[in-house]
Amino acid sequence: MSEAGLLELRNKLDNIDNELLKLINERMEVVHQVGVLKAHSGGAIYRPEREKAIIDRLESLNEGKLNRAAIEALFLEIFAISRNLELPENVAYLGPEGSFTHQAAEGRFGAMSSYVSISSIKGIFREVDTKKARFGVVPIENSSNGIVTDTINCLNKYNLKIIAEVVLDIHHTLASTCDKVEDIKRIYSKDIAFEQCRKFLANFGLDEVEQIPIESTTKAAKIAINEPGSAAICPHVGAKLNNLPILFENIEDKDNNRTRFFIISDFENGQSGNDKTSILVKLSDKQGALVDFLIDFKNAGVNFTKIKSHIAEGNSIFFIDFDGHKDDDGIKEILDKHKDSIKILGSYVKEIHDI
């Protein structure tokens, strides 16, 4: 291509960018007007079901090169900027910086939000409950390691609501200042990460070196950058944040390793038409109590996506997910019938992918 042709294309891009900036500013003006109305009516600024409806509509209109993931990436950031211009968002997440929970939080709330790293799941619930944070992001389950007990216990204890779920693909790296694998004398990581990378460690003879479990994979990277002869199993972003060279990417044993996160806050979502509801159920010791409970849902045609038993404060409870919104016809009647046995944790937009 000639220099003149390249210059013409660049000028065209500049003109498009100018128009985009103008249109986005126009959108922000309308968002402000909506925000004023919501402030008077007491409505929530963050509406996941509304955001989903917008993305669904844009995908249906799309005739260009963008796929749904690209549309979501662009507009989730625009949504986050819009909300932050009206009311800065304070988001508590399970730290440290660069953790998978941090990645899940940024993926939903964008670059402009204020993020607070909290060292425990209980601490995140406390921050949101006392309104020091508007939102909290906590892990609920991993495809390899199951349900996160601390999150279930806190959902049982606190009267907060699940307002969204985020499913994140989990990829681990082996990072070290060592140039060769055989120079590695010890590896730092979280115990779960070691378990998820057993085959890789065995294949490279690293199951014979000292493996030191610590509280987070990101902290492992911080240690490894300063300790000769050591390595870390950590997220890609954790290695990059600490300038730790990456020797191997995607070292997890399973290529479908995913973690599901909940976003918690103090409000409830409206119906989106593609919802999921989570509840905690405490049933009597009467024989067949669980079967009787489930039959009511079955008769209403409700699809259960998850049933997990759990012990909370010495009592047996069930964590249950099912398709639909708590206010949907049929579901509301069942929940009312069993209201003495149920704690409704929240109804929220169902992710396209689940684990």
Are residue 261 and residue 129 in the same domain, yes or no? yes
- Whichever domain contains 332, its CATH number is 3.30.70.260
Residues 21 and 33 in one domain: yes
The residue that leads in pLDDT, 139 or 37, is 139
Q: What is the CATH number of the domain that holds 40?
A: 1.20.59.10
- What contacts 173, CB < 8 A, 6 or more positions away? 233, 234, 235, 236, 239, 246, 247, 248, 249, 250, 251
| Confidence class for position 216, pLDDT limits 50, 70, 90 | confident
Say what the pLDDT of residue 112 is.
81
Note whether 159 and 181 are same-domain residues: no
Which residue is it, tokens 């290529």?
A: 255
Q: Is residue 180 part of a domain?
A: yes
Q: What is the pLDDT of residue 145?
A: 80
Q: Is residue 213 part of a domain?
A: yes
Q: Are residues 125 and 220 part of one domain?
A: no
Residues 20 and 153 in one domain: no
- In angstroms, the CA 164 to CA 261 distance is 8
The pTM for the full model equals 0.81
Domain boundary among 86, 111, 132: 86
User: 272 and 49 in contact (C-beta within 8 Å)?
Assistant: yes
pLDDT category at 44 given cuts 50, 70, 90 is: low
Question: Can you give the pLDDT at residue 213?
Answer: 96
Model confidence pLDDT, tens digit, residues 71-120: 988 998 898 888 777 776 799 999 888 888 998 998 888 888 899 999 99
Considering the domain architecture, whether residues 213 and 317 belong to the same structural domain is answered as no
- Is residue 21 a part of any domain in this protein? yes
183 and 164, same structural domain? Answer: no
Give the pLDDT confidence of 230-287 residue by residue, as tens digits: 999 999 988 998 999 999 999 999 888 899 999 999 999 988 888 999 999 997 777 7
If you compute the radius of gyration of the chain from its CA atoms, what whole number of angstroms results? 23
pLDDT, the chain, mean = 89
Statement: residue 23 has pLDDT above 80: yes
Q: How many domains is the chain partitioned into structurally?
A: 4
Co-location of 341 and 281 in the same domain: yes
Asked if 134 and 261 sit in the same domain, the reply is yes
Which domain does 352 fall in, by range?
A: 271-355
Q: Are 101 and 82 in a shared domain?
A: no
Residue 175 has pLDDT above 90, yes or no: yes
Q: What is the CATH number of the domain that holds 178?
A: 3.40.190.10
